[in-house]
Amino acid sequence: MILPRRFCGWLTAAATLLASSVAAAADIPAAERRSGYEFMGRETRAMQDDDAANPGMLSVLDGEALWRRAEGPAGKSCASCHGEAHASMRSVAARYPAFDTARGRPVDLEGRINLCRTERQEGPALAYESRELLALTAYVAYQSRGQPIAVAEDPKTRPFLAAGREIFERRQGQLNLSCAQCHDDNWGQRLAGVPIPQAHPTGYPVYRLEWQSLGSLQRRLRNCFVGMRAEPYPNDAPEIVELELYLAWRARGLPIETPAVRP
């Protein structure tokens, strides 16, 4: 993969900026927790605010059609079990990633949809980043718009939260950076003119203008890993779900914005 020159410039700036901040800052206090929305420009905010202009809404409409479509040999649709999503799926996305007893570890929303797909509808799992999986995830998460993120913090999830935090704070990659160095210690600063947000997963799947499409949190995280020149985790790796869980816990209280627009 060839990195655009602009991106390499960022990384040099990142290395210079972060070399000076060795001491790890504490967690961001609740009063200072801010969604990535607040770091965006006026035009991008307007695009997210207007459902008639937000391209993510096209996927939400696709997701609604998929919700009602019967799939697999069982001939069941999501609606056959869950009924109307606006009632049954309200606030659900705000609790994800959630602990799955059968698997003994947390699963994210995409993972849960695929579990339903393989175990209940008895069909093949949807591919990660496929239009169908993104649309269904967006439709389910859209039902929680405005609800505060509230993942469970209990004896079952605590070891996974700790593992996610460890990944967030561990220096990795050829640039020897951790997620925390940018997003805990230096949020609000600029990297080559681009504001560093606090990295709260409030609006996933997001419509990213750079991607010209909707994309998952896992895709966004892989972007960061590649940016640090670290090896990205594969789709649905246990580590990336732990990181997603920690990020959701770190963003607790912030409202869900799905489908958000990001530059």
Q: What is the rounded CA–CA span in Å between residue 122 and residue 248?
A: 30
Residue nearer to another protein on the CB measure, 54 or 186: 54
Is 114 within 8 Å of 122 (Cβ atoms)? no
- Cis bond leading into 205, ω under 30°? yes
Residue 210 CA: distances (Å) to CA of 129, 206, 232, 261: 15, 11, 19, 10
Residue 179 is among the residues annotated as catalytic for this protein: no
Residues 182-211 that bind another protein (CB under 8 A): 209
Residue nearer to another protein on the CB measure, 35 or 59: 59
The single residue of 78, 116, 179, 224 carrying the catalytic annotation is: 224
- Residue 256 Cβ vs another protein, minimum distance, rounded to whole Å: 21
- Residue 79 Cβ vs another protein, minimum distance, rounded to whole Å: 18
- Residue 209 Cβ vs another protein, minimum distance, rounded to whole Å: 8
Per DSSP, 118 falls in state I
Residues 74-93 that bind another protein (CB under 8 A): none
Axis crossing angle, helix 217-227 with helix 238-250, rounded to the nearest 10: 100
* Type of residue found at 86: H
- Residue 64 Cβ vs another protein, minimum distance, rounded to whole Å: 10
Per-residue binding string, another protein, 115-154, x by CB under 8 A, is ----------------x-----------------------
Residue nearer to another protein on the CB measure, 25 or 46: 46
Is 49 within 8 Å of 146 (Cβ atoms)? no
- Residue 43 Cβ vs another protein, minimum distance, rounded to whole Å: 12
Is 238 within 8 Å of 105 (Cβ atoms)? yes
Binding residues for another protein, total number by CB under 8 A: 15
- Quickly tell me which residue has 């069982």 as its tokens: 74
Residues 47-76 that bind another protein (CB under 8 A): 50-53, 55, 57-59, 61-62, 65
Is residue 25 near another protein by the rule CB under 8 A?
no
Q: What is the rounded CA–CA span in Å between residue 21 and residue 27?
A: 15
Residue nearer to another protein on the CB measure, 57 or 152: 57
Q: In sequence order, what are the residues at sequence separation of 6 or more whose Cβ sits closer than 8 angstroms to the Cβ of residue 106? A: 97, 98, 99, 100, 157, 160, 241, 242, 245
What residues make contact with another protein under the rule CB under 8 A?
50-53, 55, 57-59, 61-62, 65, 131, 209, 212-213
Q: Catalytic positions, please?
A: 224
